[in-house]
């Protein structure tokens, strides 16, 4: 549920303004999605230009492209989706999706790029697509990109199958509910870089400012990737790149055509690395999540905003200091329906801050189990709500 503001997307709004005719969103939404002619009209020149550029960079589409994407059901569903997105990203999304050129970029992203993630072990052989995938994996995580791809494919299938306005709205709503600030950042990046030749000022204005930071070395190496494959366990196999510790440590496993060594890889089965500076912290989180999954826990979350057992976002109603919400290192829902949150003190110098965070998490969700551990595994604090069974650990 990360936040994305209008200020962050303003460079993209300016860049896309000249690529398509003025938006006719209100009129277009009155069209009947089940109409026989949906997507069959010839593409307008501006659309054809962007389509050709996108395909030249990413490779041929894996899903059939209609004659015109700008009159397709997918396009109409994407126009509706921002209205249902959560408050932290809704206004930024609404502003972005008023641009027909941007929506077209998202449509192409769904049908050309994200569809490639649907294979059991997707392969990116086009150099640009492989390099971008590698860069996104460094900053967003393999799991997140895969989940976004699944959400995109579901939107495509449901919108294409819709025959009424109500069915189209339902598809748009489900897609919007699955969207977070991180997912929207990835969507913006793929859609924009696919047509970057027509908006050369955008990368300088801040494409990478929209994503979490990554070391300059990591980005430099990512530009030389020529082939990338994601295997079933969530690892990436990369070739055509000289790997360094800064890049390999951000992936579950990295193999290169001319590897120059590097540090031990960080596990990313449950999400992107919590921190690259403290591998032990990240591995403790991954190990705990694996144990909970084996014990039948659901809604496994790694360093995500605190939520209730039902998945609702939670805030500290009486914060002693900012922020108003916390991100548990490990969070899951036990088989009995109780939320279980755990944090690890990454540095003993931060103990007071971690204790304050522990109390804030308790205030936000007194119905959940909360734990705080030292790096060596010693239990510092544990809170178990009344009526909830928790096995005695002897500590």
Strands 298-302 and 379-383: unpaired
Q: Which residues contact 222 (CB under 8 A, 6 or more apart)?
A: 131, 134, 135, 138, 241, 247
Return the pLDDT at 351.
85
Contact criterion met (CB below 8 Å) for 136 and 186: yes
Per-residue pLDDT of the chain (395 residues; tens, 9 = 90+): 567 888 878 877 777 777 776 554 443 443 444 444 554 678 888 899 899 989 988 888 888 888 899 889 999 999 999 999 998 899 999 999 988 889 999 999 999 999 988 877 788 888 888 888 888 887 777 888 888 999 999 999 999 999 999 999 999 999 999 998 888 888 988 988 888 777 755 544 455 555 544 443 334 444 557 778 877 666 777 776 644 433 333 333 333 333 333 445 677 778 777 766 677 788 888 888 888 988 889 999 998 989 999 989 988 877 665 667 888 999 999 999 999 999 998 777 778 888 988 999 999 999 999 999 886 678 889 999 999 988 743 33
- Smallest CA-to-CA distance from 195 within 101, 114, 126, 127 is with 101
Return the pLDDT at 38.
53
Contact criterion met (CB below 8 Å) for 208 and 219: yes
Return the pLDDT at 207.
52
Return the pLDDT at 389.
87
E-strand stretches of 52-172 = 123-124
CA distances (Å), 172 to each of 151, 158, 162, 165, 199, in order?
11, 9, 11, 11, 28
Strands 369-373 and 339-344: parallel
Structural domain boundaries of the chain? 6-119+139-210, 279-383
Domain 279-383 has CATH 2.30.30: no
Return the pLDDT at 229.
81
Residue 330: how many other CB atoms lie within 10 Å: 27
3-state secondary structure 269-294: CCCCCCCCCCHHHHHHHHHHHHHHHH
Task: Tell me how many helices (H) and strands (E) the chain has.
Answer: 15, 8
**Terminal Cα distance for the chain, rounded:** 35
Return the pLDDT at 219.
42
CA angle 270, 228, 231 (to 5 degrees): 45
Return the pLDDT at 276.
65
Residue 173 C-alpha from the chain's centroid = 18
What is the spatial distance between Cα 193 and Cα 216, in angstroms, rounded to a whole number?
Answer: 18
Return the pLDDT at 17.
77
């Amino acid at each position: 549920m990360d936040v994305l503001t209008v200020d962050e997307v303003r460079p993209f709004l300016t860049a896309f303004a000249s690529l398509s005719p003025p938006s006719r969103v209100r009129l277009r939404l009155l069209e009947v999605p089940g109409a026989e002619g949906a997507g069959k009209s010839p593409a307008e020149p501006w659309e054809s230009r962007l389509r050709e550029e996108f395909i030249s960079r990413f490779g041929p589409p894996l899903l059939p492209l209609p004659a015109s994407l700008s009159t397709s059901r997918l396009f109409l569903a994407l126009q509706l989706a921002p209205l249902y997105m959560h408050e932290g990203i809704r206004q930024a999304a609404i502003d972005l999706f008023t641009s027909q050129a941007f929506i077209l970029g998202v449509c192409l992203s769904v049908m050309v790029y994200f569809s490639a993630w649907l294979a059991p072990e997707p392969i990116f052989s086009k150099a640009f697509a492989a390099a971008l995938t590698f860069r996104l994996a460094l900053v967003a995580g393999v799991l997140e990109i895969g989940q976004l791809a699944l959400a995109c494919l579901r939107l495509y299938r449901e919108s294409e199958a819709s025959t009424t306005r109500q069915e189209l709205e339902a598809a748009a709503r489900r897609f919007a509910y699955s969207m977070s600030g991180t997912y929207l950042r990835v969507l913006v990046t793929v859609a924009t870089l696919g047509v970057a030749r027509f908006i050369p000022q955008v990368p300088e204005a801040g494409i990478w400012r929209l994503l979490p930071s990554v070391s300059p070395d990591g980005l430099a190496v990512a530009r030389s990737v020529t082939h990338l494959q994601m295997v079933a366990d969530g690892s990436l196999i990369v070739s055509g790149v000289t790997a360094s510790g800064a890049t390999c440590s951000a992936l579950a496993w990295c193999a290169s055509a001319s590897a120059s060594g590097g540090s031990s890889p960080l596990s990313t089965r449950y999400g992107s690395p919590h921190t690259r500076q403290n591998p032990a912290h990240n591995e403790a989180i991954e190990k705990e999540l694996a144990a909970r999954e084996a014990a039948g826990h659901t809604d496994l979350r790694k360093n995500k905003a605190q939520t209730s057992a039902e998945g609702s976002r939670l805030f500290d109603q009486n914060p002693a200091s900012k922020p108003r919400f916390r991100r548990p290192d490990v969070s899951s829902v036990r088989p009995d329906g109780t939320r279980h949150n755990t944090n690890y003190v990454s540095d003993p110098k931060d103990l007071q801050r971690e204790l304050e965070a522990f109390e804030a998490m308790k205030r936000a969700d007194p119905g959940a189990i909360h734990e705080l551990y030292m790096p060596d595994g010693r239990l510092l604090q544990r809170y178990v709500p009344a009526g909830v069974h928790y096995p005695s650990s002897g500590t």
